[in-house]
Chain A
Amino acid sequence: MKYEIVMGLEVHVELSTQSKLFCGCSAKFGADANDNVCPACAGMPGMPAVTNQKAVDLGIDAAIVTNSQITRTMTFDKKNYFYPDLPTSYQITQWFAPICRNGWVEIETERGKKKITLKQIHIEEDAGKMVHDARSGTSMLDFNRTSVPLIEIVSNPDFRDAEEVIDYLEKLRALLSFAGVSDCKMQEGSMRCDVNISVRPAGSEKLGVRTEMKNMNSLKAITAAIAFEANRHIDAIETGSEVLIQETRGWDDDKGITFSMREKEDATDYRYFPNPELMPIVISDEWIERVRSSLPETSQDKFVRMTQTLGLPEYDSSIITRSKALADIFDQTMAHFDKPKEVVNWIIVELLGIAKGDNKGEDDIRIDCRKFADLIRLVDEKAINRNVGKKLLIKVLEEDVDPENYVKEHGLGMLTDTSLIDKAVSEVLAENPKSVAEFKEGKLKVVGFLMGQIMKKMGGKADPEAVKSILQSQLDQL
């Protein structure tokens, strides 16, 4: 039988604020345990919560870039559950009047374009971090993350396969990071995704039993978890090997399996009620306009600018605009060297190549864009050849060297003196009679080998085009 997978996503994104949602503690990631905690976010009795305006601004940003309808009077509610990572024993969230509803995000897969509709986006506070210590049999609590502002983006069950999920997450990441809502780093937990999944016979209207999967901290893990869980559901339906229940399941990345965490609570179990300490927030037209007018260029706008105004290929532009970090490098490098195609090539081929080799993500690339621009100019002006440029790029990345000075100090300038090249070519041909003989027999492959020998002899600094043409003419005269 053919099955259809039905999925809905809950994506949590940490907002890029300085301070927490309801108190002035720093919201920064990576501090020592419990360094950014005050009586309010530690849940001490009598501490008033006061909403961070920037968090609301960023929520409005998120609403705008996801085409959502903004709720004009939004309120905060208490979601009650008892767990040590939440010192108040309730989470402040938005249940009755979230910041916006009914948005959509357009995705594109091999099957074409599709609109993923959003149920709502709400603002809420994050919970603390728990570290379980097996040795002492205790759990250790760090409340630095407690009350850090989040938005949760709740989609409708519009997804039918992992490819759609991944493209949606990439689109969402681009939309939100370009808008400055969040840095959306999955590995640091500033973007987290829960997948609600069920399986039904193709053509059926009725939804199957739904499970929720948590703890996937990369796109790869999400793809693997969906594949595993969908198969588990199908097996259960076909063989009756287990009875599916509505539950929350964790993803074990090492074992490549999902495991039961807890039975899913009903909404009523959370006993939501309005938080009487927090006054309603009325969002006026003026407020929305103020936020809208200060929104930076969206990833989509940038894509259009790159392809239409700058005439760059769609493929290149889509790589640059899927990441705020790469787009920033592109813009800043262009500010110093205005040849878009050259800049894009150096980013995609060289910079990303090096990052990939170092197992680094796009967001982790740190480069002085003025120096990067200088380097590209040196190659473009034929002051150095491309290979020297590649090696120089590593020096710029690792040691922050100044390209022009480095080339001067190390004598890496491109050798274009034809008499020198001519001499090197003659020498290499004399030293490699076997290759020359093979060439005469029609083995054109040896040209590449001879090129390499000549470049080596000239310290890798010769102009490859000049070498190629001189080698060709000397071979032709043989």
Chain B
Amino acid sequence: MLEISKYESLTKLNLTEIERTQIEKIANKLIVSFEDLREIDTKNVEPLVSVLVLQNVLREDINVKSISREELLSNAPEQYGGYFQVPKTLD
């Protein structure tokens, strides 16, 4: 069984009681499906990071100017003096 409340706090979400029940149901179904996967013998199988057969996709260390600050902030709900502004958050 999944502790939904723990994941609520990790993702900083407040779920309603209905949402919580729904998600709990879906999540537990998922967990059961994954339990089935455990039966497969993967002893000699390397972990797979990507389904693409690529490696060493790298770029040179060169600066590329992309968008302007104005453009970057243009969708920000709140901004001030070049900063994104969000409700006070203290660690």
Contact = CB atoms under 8 A, between A and B. Distances in A.
Interface string B52-86: 10111111111111110100110000101111111
A155 interface: no
A137 B59 contact: no
B44 interface: no
A137 B78 CA distance: 13
Interface stretch (A47-55, A386-394, A456-464): A47-55
B58 A51 contact: yes
Q: Is the interface of B mostly helix, strand, loop or mixed?
A: loop
Given A24-B62, A32-B69, A84 B56 contact: no
B14 interface: no
Contacts of A262: 91
A279 B49 contact: yes
Contacts of A26: 63, 65
Contacts of A96: 47
Given A139-B89, A140-B85, A280-B55, A274 B49 contact: yes
Contacts of B1: none
Interface residues of A, number: 56
Nearest to B72: A37
Contact of A279 (B50, B59, B64): B50
A51 B57 contact: yes
A455 interface: no
Contact of B84 (A19, A25, A34): A34
A106 interface: no
A42 B10 CA distance: 21
Given A18-B63, A19-B63, A56 B72 contact: no
Nearest to B67: A38
A276 interface: yes
Contact of B88 (A50, A75, A137): A137
B52 A279 contact: yes
A404 to B, nearest CB: 41
Nearest to A77: B49
Question: Which of A37, A142, A276 has the most chain B CB within a 10 Å cutoff?
Answer: A37
B58 A38 contact: no
A16 B63 CA distance: 13
Contacts, number: 139
B80 A130 contact: no
Question: Which of B57, B62, B86 has the most chain A CB within a 10 Å cutoff?
Answer: B57
Interface in B7-50: 10-12, 47, 49-50
Interface residues of B, number: 38
B91 A138 contact: no
B89 A130 contact: yes
Contact of A81 (B10, B49, B63, B89): B10
A261 B91 contact: yes
A83 B89 contact: yes
B86 A18 contact: no
B58 A281 contact: yes
Given A52-B61, A276-B49, A38 B66 contact: yes
Question: Which of A39, A142, A269, A280 has the most chain B CB within a 10 Å cutoff?
Answer: A280
A19 B64 contact: yes
A132 B69 contact: no
Interface in A1-60: 17-19, 23-26, 32-35, 37-40, 42, 50-56
B72 A34 contact: yes
A73 B49 CA distance: 11
Interface of A: 17-19, 23-26, 32-35, 37-40, 42, 50-56, 73, 75, 80-84, 96, 130-133, 136-143, 261-262, 269, 271, 274-282
Given A24-B65, A34-B83, A279-B56, 6 more contacts: A24-B59, A24-B63, A139-B88, A262-B91, A271-B10, A278-B57
Q: Kindly list the 6 A-B residue pairs having the minimum CB-CB distance in the complex, ordered from nearest.
A: A24-B64, A38-B66, A54-B61, A140-B83, A141-B84, A53-B58
15 contacts: A18-B63, A23-B66, A26-B65, A33-B81, A42-B72, A50-B57, A50-B59, A56-B58, A73-B55, A131-B83, A133-B88, A140-B80, A274-B47, A274-B49, A279-B57
